[in-house]
Amino acid sequence: MSGFLGYLLQRLIGVMVTILFVAITIFLMVRILPGDPARVIAGVLASDQDVARIRTQLGLDQPLWTQAGIFLNDLAHGDLGTSARTSDPVTQEILARLPYTALLAVVSLAVAIAVGLPLGALAAARAGSLADLAVSALVLFGISMPVYWLGLMLIILFSIQLRWLPAAGASGPLSIILPAVTLAAFSVAFIARITRSSMLEVLRQDYVRTARAKGTPARGVLWRHALRNALPPIVTIIGLQFGELLGGAILTETVFGWPGMGRLLVDSIFSRDYPMVQGLVIVFALMFALVNLAVDLLYERIDPRVRYG
Amino acid sequence: MRRRSLTAFVAVVFVLFAGTALAQQTFRIAIGVDPDSLDPAQGTTTTVDNVLDYMVQPLVTIDGTGKLVPDLATSWSTSADGKTLTFDLRQGVTFQDGTAFDASAVKWNLERLLDPKVRVPRRGQLTVIDSIDVVDANTVRLNLKQPSPALVGALSQTTVGMLSPASVDKDGNSYENIVHPVGTGPYTYTSRQKGTNVVVSRNDAYWGDKPYYDKVVFQVVPEATTRESLLLAGQVDLIILPPTSDLPALQNNPRVKVLFGPSDRTIFIAINTSKKVLDNKLVREALNYAVDKQAIIKGVLFGAAEPMDAPMAPSLFGYKKIGAYPYDPEKAKQLLKQAGVDPSQITLHMISPTGRYVQDFPAAQAIANYIRDIGFKVDVRTMDWPTYVGTITKPQAENTTELHLLGWAPSFMDASQQMQQFDCGQSPPNGLATSFYCNQDVQKLLDQASSEVDVQKREQLYQQASQIIWNDAPWIFLWVQSFPMAYQANLTGISGLPNEKFYALYAHPAN
């Protein structure tokens, strides 16, 4: 077990190094972007003195190295600074939005797994059948459909025509259905495709033939023997899909007026709110790194051949 | 069995009616931006001002035509030398926290706006105030550094919305940052969920006419198509800026009404008059004749604009109709010949923002085509707003743009801010007069107007300047955009103010 703890520690240090790298990169990237944050905040009608005063208030008149020093020092103390746009602490702003993005990503992922996994398994079990073809068509549809378009189509159908679901906002549990389904579409397709190919691989193995030969019912072979062994690549993909979902959330949140981090990031980039963009990118990176760490640790559970430490 | 189904039916009907009754008391407005701040002093965005107008009020305001009218001040007067401005305040007004609105509250608010510790992007127009005297409880006097005839207009902005001095350290507020505004308005701040909504409730102690709705919810919906969907699904009552291309369809939909709200925003192609060829007035005139403004308004803006007929919008003080550059490509070519310019040898670089103004980039592409028709080569590019502002405000020597699309909307209904665009001292990097236009005759008129106390004389000065500017053509004069909104057809009492605001305070069902 101490071996495992050592491994965990090693991985967590890795996560921290990654985050430091991300932090420095995003710090430089926002400053390479053209455009003056003070002018954007002040508006085109503001006088030059007012713009200059705002620049000083934001600390942007300091040399780059001083700004970087302040940023990294604050970061080490868990302080992401103050939003240039709203004058509120970045941490507070992000914490207000984080639950929405996390909820949306988790619900979407759950939908994607609940739909994608059985579809892929079904397609593999009946490879070459009409059902397989139907799943393949669905996969193609899901992967190639723009999130934006799908979202609007769902709004037209379920909000305008049927009037069953809210078109936008985050009031009540019904609000999450449309954004979650929209966001899940791509992942459903991707998970179904990976499940299908991974299952096909496994179904060709000797032990499956053995299981069949000894008279295990087809359903038992599929779910107990094949799926379990097909799982490792699928879990990897699901972990990576979580990253896709965080990225996809940016568009989905905009279409559905969902108050998550993705929308905040868009608003912040367009207003050149350096501290907010930095904070959001760091938190996104941290979420992604931790989920992938969790996936790696999960490996041990699903694949007994993998042992850490 | 029958009995049970009857009970269920009654229950359902009851719930439905209860639902309708509740829904009737709340008015829902879908807006496009999440407020940066609910501190009136920190405002830069008209829509955010529009939300704050429900809660806070300035001393003076504008009516539907843009004229200054009393709000928290009942009357005002300027001294003969133009250096003091005296306001008589409305009596018996209280802030929403029960404290009295009086001259000392006004003094406190104005001093806060002038205090460098507070971030006030629109402070520029107020810095002419030297000191504020409380004459008596209902009279306040502003002493000015120099005569400033535009100041009363500047005091009509939401920035100057009066806050209760007693509220400044309560409910999360601080002197530098107000998050829970307490004003004198018809609605009080109730709650805010960032990125989602702002909710206000009717102030039953309000000094003026009481609104119909108990509650108003401003829902933040950045995507125009989604705002439209919310309206069509009956989930909101009023939306601002539906997708422009859907305006004809909405106009044909009997369940909703479309309102082309007036605006003071002029949209134009700023011509970089410091560049060779474009420094020639004949060439700039040719560009004006080359573009069919009417056709673009009809085909690209779906009617959401009126052609410009002066270098400012008609709702501004100082406006006078000057003329038109009708679409005449032959005349344009002839003017180029007269100027000795062979357009086929010249590539004009044009840039436009995307999504900043109604159909901005599509319009820019159409304009480029018209300019190609008279022989120039034109390349058109777009970029995001901060980059765009950075590009067009580069100093003359580094400035590479020759033509760029821009919108300009004074924050109060006076020619002074519009004329910054033609002020020699406002050329980049000092300001945003991005056509680098400088005409000493115009400059003299503008300088005179900025301190002329006589209202009529001042108006004439701006009109004279307008005439010269129009003839010099530093812009391709395009149009005054309108501010489209749409609302449920069963509602009435909704209109627009000339500064891109909706006026729905007294909205109510038509029957």
Per-residue confidence (pLDDT) for residue A307, from 0 to 100: 67
CA distance B420 to chain A (A): 9
Question: Any CB–CB contact under 8 A between B223 and chain A?
Answer: yes
Distance from the A99 Cα atom to the nearest Cα atom in chain B, whole angstroms: 13
Please give the interface size between A and B, counted as residue pairs whose CB atoms are below 8 Å apart: 149
Question: Within 10 A of B72 (CB to CB), how many other CB atoms are there?
Answer: 24
Which pLDDT tens digit goes with each residue over B392-437? 988 999 998 999 999 999 988 999 999 999 999 988 888 889 999 9
By CB neighbour count within 10 A (0-12 exposed, 13-18 middle, 19+ buried), where does B323 fall? exposed
The pair of three-digit structure tokens given for residue A99, joined into one six-digit string: 């639950």
Question: Count of CB atoms within 10 A of residue B382's CB?
Answer: 18
Alpha carbon dihedral A49, A52, A53, A59, in 10-degree steps, equals: -170
- Which of A48, A156, A259 is opposite residue B194, by nearest beta carbon? A259
A96 interface with B at CB cutoff 8 Å = yes
Contact B121 A41 (CB under 8 A): yes
Distance (Å) of CA A276 to CA A27, A41, A130, B74, B196: 11, 14, 50, 44, 18
In degrees and rounded to multiples of 5, residue B57 shows phi and psi of -135, 140
Tokens of B496: 């627009």
pLDDT in tens, B359-388: 999 999 999 999 999 999 999 999 988 889
For residue B235, the surrounding DSSP H or E stretch is none
Question: Amino acid identity of A223?
Answer: W
**B230 has a chain A CB within 8 A of its CB:** yes
The SS3 of residue A44 is coil
Tens-digit pLDDT profile for residues A246-265:
888 888 998 998 999 998 99
Residue A44 pLDDT grade (very low, low, confident, very high; cuts 50, 70, 90): confident
Copy the structure tokens of residue A209: 């033939």
- Indicate whether B235 pLDDT > 90: yes
Collect all residues of chain B within an 8 Å Cβ-Cβ radius of residue A57. Answer: 119
Whether residues A50 and B124 touch (CB distance < 8 A) is answered with yes
- The rounded distance, in Å, linking the Cα atoms of A296 and B295 is 61
CB atoms within 10 A of CB B81: 10
Q: Do A167 and B230 touch (CB under 8 A)?
A: yes
Provide the 3-class DSSP secondary structure of residue B416: helix
Q: For chain B, state the CA radius of gyration.
A: 25
Estimate the share of chain A in helix, then strand, then coil, as percent rounded to the nearest 5: 80, 0, 20
The yes-or-no verdict on residue B179 having pLDDT over 90 is yes
Preceding peptide of B428 cis, ω within 30°: no
3-state secondary structure of A263: helix
Question: 3-class SS at B140?
Answer: strand
Mutation test of the interface with chain B: which of A97, A153, A155, A277, choosing the one with the most B Cβ atoms within 10 A? A155
pLDDT of residue A308: 63
Asked whether the beta carbons of residue B235 and residue A34 sit closer than 8 angstroms, the reply is no
Question: CB under 8 Å to B200, separation ≥6 — which residues?
Answer: B54, B55, B187, B188, B189, B190, B215, B216, B218
State the distance between the two ends of chain A, measured CA to CA, in whole angstroms: 8
- Taking Cα atoms as reference points, which of B263, B80, B56 lies closest to residue B167? B56
Written in H, E and C, the secondary structure of B341-398 is: CCHHHCEEEEEEECCCCCCHHHHHHHHHHHHHHCCCEEEEEEECHHHHHHHHCCCCCC
Q: Which residues of B touch A254 (CB under 8 A)?
A: 222-223
What φ, ψ does residue A136 adopt, rounded to 5°? -60, -40
More confident residue, B172 or A43: B172
Please give the single-letter amino acid code of residue B266.
T
CA atoms of B289 and A178, how far apart (whole Å) = 50
Q: What is the ipTM of this complex?
A: 0.83
- Mind telling me how many Å the CA of A156 is from chain B's nearest CA? 7
| A212-217, long-range: CB < 8 A, 24+ apart | none
The chain B residue lying nearest A43, using CA atoms, is B44
Interface of B with A in 427-456 (CB under 8 A): 430-432
As a whole number, the mean pLDDT across chain B is: 92
Q: Helix, strand or coil for residue B245?
A: helix
What DSSP character marks residue B349? E
Per-residue pLDDT of B19-39, as tens digits, reads 444 445 899 999 998 998 999
* Average pLDDT taken over every residue of chain A: 88
* First and final C-alpha spacing in chain B: 40
Residue A291, min C-alpha distance to chain B (Å): 26
Q: Which B residues, 32 through 71, put their C-beta within 8 Å of a C-beta on chain A? A: 34, 36-37, 42, 44-45
pLDDT at B17: 43
Tell me which chain A residue has its CA closest to the CA of residue B231: A160
What's the rounded Cα separation, in Å, for the pair B449 and B453? 8
Chain A residues 41-60 with CB within 8 Å of chain B = 41-50, 53-54, 57
Q: Which of B123, B179, B219 sits opposite A169 (nearest CB)?
A: B219
- Yes or no, beta carbons of B386 and A37 under 8 Å apart: yes
Query: Which residues of B are less than 8 Å from A256 in CB distance?
Result: 226
Whether residues B196 and A42 touch (CB distance < 8 A) is answered with: no
Tens digits of residue pLDDT in B280-335: 999 999 999 999 999 999 999 999 999 999 999 999 999 999 999 999 999 999 99
* Sign of the torsion angle spanned by Cα atoms B250, B254, B255, B256: positive
Answer for the pair A187, A108: CB distance below 8 angstroms, yes or no.
Answer: yes
Per the CB < 8 A criterion, the answer to whether B224 and B211 are in contact is no
The whole-number pLDDT of residue A126 equals 86
pLDDT higher than threshold 60 for residue A29: yes
CB A66: neighbour CB atoms within 10 A? 11
Give mean pLDDT, residues B175-188: 96
> Quick one: DSSP state of residue A63?
-
Instruction: Give me the sign of the Cα torsion angle B223, B225, B229, B235.
Output: positive
